[in-house]
Amino acid sequence: MARRHWIEVAVIATVSLTVGCATGLPAVADDQLSMRDILKRHTPTSHSPLPAPQRSARRESIPFPLLDNPILLLWLHPHFSGGAEPLPVPGYITALPLYARDHFALPGESDSP
């Protein structure tokens, strides 16, 4: 009895999905707007360029200049990861700064212009 119930449910689901897929969407009319027309309608026509940022702050005007922190590039060869099941790891380059944090010079200590 239960098997017949599941068969009926499967048949009803199949028929409803088939009927649902058989109904198509209405055809798009030729007189509808294209995406370009819609974009032009909603975009303002006066395109005023934004003013360029002023770069008046020169290096000399920075009170506490940042000191150089050299970056060491390290190439790691392709290898296998450790563990019970070692997985291949491709070779890659990593950047390591020489100092753990950046340092700043006091006013007048920096030689750079």
CB contact at 8 A, 78 and 58: no
Q: Report pTM.
A: 0.35
CB contact at 8 A, 62 and 52: no
Q: Where are the domains of the chain?
A: 69-99
pLDDT in tens, the chain (113 residues): 677 778 888 888 887 777 666 656 666 566 777 778 877 777 766 655 556 655 555 555 677 888 889 999 999 999 999 888 999 999 999 999 999 998 888 877 776 55
